[in-house]
Structure 1
């Protein structure tokens, strides 16, 4: 039976017919793996996602976590699913053998995680945060900290969080007030309040490892004074002593419109509810050097941004599959001009096919982009030359804001269309698509809003090193255009011509915006820049897929060509008015007096 969670056939196409992921086994870092091990872990992921994650997706939404003032209560099925995930070794699957992982290529692991996000994004958030936490510590913590905290996370005994935002600061981390006071024994005592911390308290694991941004008194002002601390819920046992409760409690939990199965908390550090060692404050352990906490945290933040992009993609994808299934089985109406006869499945109506094709182009395009970014991470880890690693790092820098934001905008649009395909049924809780929409609506805000990502793209990524990242991206797209032309296929050649014009618009608009000499003016319309560049990047990704499908005769490959055709005829033209707006150096929002709103 074909799965309505994710498409195994599409993953096979992307991994092996397009990206040739099996070639990674030729590299020393991945030499212990093979196509067989890749397929085994993919099949295991499909099985676990289907058996343990998908069945309680709706229940987790309807029976969200509760807090009785002392303890968080979570649906038991969440714990069952997470134990199955951990026992399969998946938490450390993509991590280095040095810290106890299985060193699976990140590209393959990204494909595995697509199954879990699509099956149950709320439950999958717990291992997502834990893996990001463990990866950061593996890169920046001391050997002792890695042994004490990373190893139990890989085993699934500890879970992790990232504690950045505060009620008064939000995304502006320069304004955080949480402080960490140094102690004579080398530890710190942490005092402060955080907000919107997913997974901030529960009994799903033996311990919770909070990664907390705080300022050491006397340090530099703003973001330069931020340090990073490990603040566990329980202080690990020393010798024969039992683990001691740390001074981390909840002020309460937040209730969101989506991801409702993920407990979202407002934790308080150093409230005085517990006094470890008889002294006030939550015990914290400094990670790395003082005042470099934000730089370290970007390791987890960038990983989380790609994770949110994948979650957005998966939600759009499963919504598409369910809409397609509904359209094939729901009889309603007759073909235009028919005088009678039996009703036909709604997939026979052209406008329904338009909505399905739009969803397909968004979801399959976004999934391909996520896997392409994953290949860059694999190149960073295993490429044999410095130039290849530098290329991967540079491309990833410019693609990360797009890989986070484009799916969270357009796969949400796919979920909207999935509801529309279902008609009146789509707005009821009898069908999954309304929950997928609510879950996905959080993702334009998760891990940095569209506005923050657009500022990162236009204000930093494309301007760093005299525009090296943008130049490399445009050159890489140019190589695909040349390949399309070399196929001799007229349609692929036309796609390449259209894409060449669009990439030229990126170059021209970027130059015009920064030529103004006014950073505020350049960045005032950065959201439009992100959307336009995102659509051009996805057109490139669709041309890549169309080239991979060229010469293959099957319904599946015909579907790839149809989706590429749709994107070039319906979607890429959307960028023209966006680039026109950017080139006009419009000041509408910049000059608006807030009092006029």
Structure 2
């Protein structure tokens, strides 16, 4: 099966995406418009992205002393993506959007990630603009978000600092009111105007020349009345800090804001995307000294407050949650790209001979390695990991559409389900599709370890996703420490009801009945482990094994996904006459035989509240 046929099945047979067209927002769409969007993205990815995936890995971005230099292929791919309209695909017609369901938008963008995940600097632009649409003022939407949707400007998210990666409560970037202007700082049309000073690290697409401006969304702390930073997250606010200052019409003023590139990070993978250390308000570009500068006042980069002071983290989570689905999809597509490469290699590489009753006959011709059981095992694992992860990401996207366009009951359920599933949507593909990339290398043998074949690059690119947008450990603590407990466990109960609905349905299908029984038992184990983890009421007891809990939880969710997908395939083709149905049912069988049993070992340490790791003496290392 190709990526396109897999997407078509998941979108239309499994998720029934066409049913969304009965809702007012999507009434202009039908199967033809959805297919046209997928066709366009598939073509652009094939022509502008895939041929240059190795090029952008070798020709890394570099700073020439004046600007960041990228290969021309990156500019061409970016321009083609912008021209496709996909930056604003899900937005209102009034914003130049297509009012596409987010499910279709995510599926269409999958082609770009599969073709070359590192080539696109538009990674965060859409999320940046969507945040401003949710939390910005009307003028901020008009000036900043619309120009980002149009592709004229790019966007970033600036959270981490050199001394504060995942621990945002420890950031030290500060923002003070810009009181030195003739325009009162709190009455600036673009938003209450502040001056920012500090350093931000790991900023994807933080500097480049692909667009005429870059809109940074920066987390910073506003000092208290004594000029001190408030400890923790309470004082964190969110600011728009453009690379180049603009007027209320969205036109560049000719004044460079005091945002300076301090260095490019050189990573294991994603080498085609700039990753930056940025200095805000360090004086390299003095806004005050530049002729024609519209504002005076103290030194520092100019930023405009988004939302309320002290509420920046809540605003930023709007973008972070969207980014986590994006990271999960990127990890999925990198795994998928490796799987397709390994499948092609296995189908064409002759090596070894079949074992017969008399052993191997050296006079017989070599067999393709895809005929060997262990190679089939590795390919089947990759297929199960990647196609299962793709179904999970699209299911989460469908929940986003329910949140935006469903009836009140559907909206409430979608919100709760999405809260519980987001840590899995980000973490599970980033772990198991990375494993798929490792297996793709193994299928290639020694060749897989060379740069003559693409699978080593896919692995390098994918290794970042376990860190991207909240590390594995943070996602695990979020899941066990917050998500399964929130609203008195309503989200977990709702997910359990959905899973059991599939269990009951599949119990009546002979090919899936045993799988359904196994999933029901595992779901019960997860529930008991959740209770046991929190039985003492002490967070350190519960969270000591948060990662094994998340691994078991994730495998349970994926087993549910595969059972549901297989049931849908058998509904369409009970006799399994189509190879696609055989693929879906075979993947489900693999997952239940080889993967789901792993949950017992993971849950055992959770249920016993094993403290081996937590209490191991630091000195003993």
Normalising by structure 2, we get a TM-score of 0.93
Give the equivalent residue in structure 2 for 1:227. 237
Bigger drift between 70-79 and 415-424 goes to 70-79
Give the equivalent residue in structure 2 for 1:112. 108
Are residues 1:260 and 2:266 paired?
Answer: no
Q: In the aligned structure 2, how far is the partner of 1:388 from the partner of 1:197?
A: 36
Spell out the pairing of 1:280-429 with structure 2 (5 A cutoff): 280-336=299-355, 337-339=359-361, 340-383=363-406, 385-429=407-451
Which whole-Å deviations, capped at 9, do the CAs of 1:446-475 have from their partners, x for residues lacking one? 111110000000000001111111111111
Out of 195, 199, 203, the position equivalent to 2:201 is 195
Post-superposition shift, 1:34?
1.0
Out of 533, 546, 550, the position equivalent to 1:530 is 550
Q: In the aligned structure 2, how far is the partner of 1:285 from the partner of 1:41?
A: 36
Counterpart contact for 1:246–1:282, Cα < 8 Å: yes
Q: In the aligned structure 1, how far is the partner of 2:92 from the partner of 2:585?
A: 38
Which whole-Å deviations, capped at 9, do the CAs of 1:509-534 have from their partners, x for residues lacking one? 00011112211010000000000000
Q: In the aligned structure 2, how far is the partner of 1:210 from the partner of 1:377?
A: 25
- Whose helix proportion is higher, 1 or 2? 1
Give the equivalent residue in structure 1 for 2:211. 205
Q: In the aligned structure 1, how far is the partner of 2:300 from the partner of 2:338?
A: 46
Are residues 1:587 and 2:611 paired?
Answer: yes
Counterpart contact for 1:428–1:434, Cα < 8 Å: yes
Q: In the aligned structure 2, how far is the partner of 1:352 from the partner of 1:331?
A: 12
Q: In the aligned structure 2, how far is the partner of 1:426 from the partner of 1:207?
A: 40
**CA gap 1:140/1:98 in 2 versus in 1, 3 angstroms:** farther
Post-superposition shift, 1:70?
3.1
Q: In the aligned structure 1, how far is the partner of 2:254 from the partner of 2:318?
A: 29
Out of 443, 462, 475, the position equivalent to 1:453 is 475
Out of 166, 169, 173, the position equivalent to 1:174 is 169
Give the equivalent residue in structure 1 for 2:524. 504
Q: In the aligned structure 2, how far is the partner of 1:57 from the partner of 1:328?
A: 23
Are residues 1:570 and 2:594 paired?
Answer: yes
Q: In the aligned structure 1, how far is the partner of 2:252 from the partner of 2:97?
A: 29
Counterpart contact for 2:7–2:107, Cα < 8 Å: yes
Counterpart contact for 1:237–1:243, Cα < 8 Å: no
Aligned residues between the structures = 589
Q: In the aligned structure 1, how far is the partner of 2:389 from the partner of 2:410?
A: 24
Q: In the aligned structure 2, how far is the partner of 1:170 from the partner of 1:478?
A: 39
Are residues 1:77 and 2:73 paired?
Answer: yes
Q: In the aligned structure 1, how far is the partner of 2:280 from the partner of 2:81?
A: 30
Post-superposition shift, 1:71?
1.6
- State the superposition RMSD in angstroms: 1.3
- Structure 2 unmatched ranges of 5 or more: 186-192, 290-295
Counterpart contact for 1:214–1:229, Cα < 8 Å: yes
Post-superposition shift, 1:397?
0.2
Post-superposition shift, 1:241?
7.5
Q: In the aligned structure 2, how far is the partner of 1:301 from the partner of 1:517?
A: 29
Counterpart contact for 1:237–1:244, Cα < 8 Å: no
Post-superposition shift, 1:98?
4.4
Are residues 1:64 and 2:88 paired?
Answer: no
Give the equivalent residue in structure 1 for 2:126. 131
- Structure 1 unmatched ranges of 5 or more: none
Counterpart contact for 2:197–2:301, Cα < 8 Å: yes
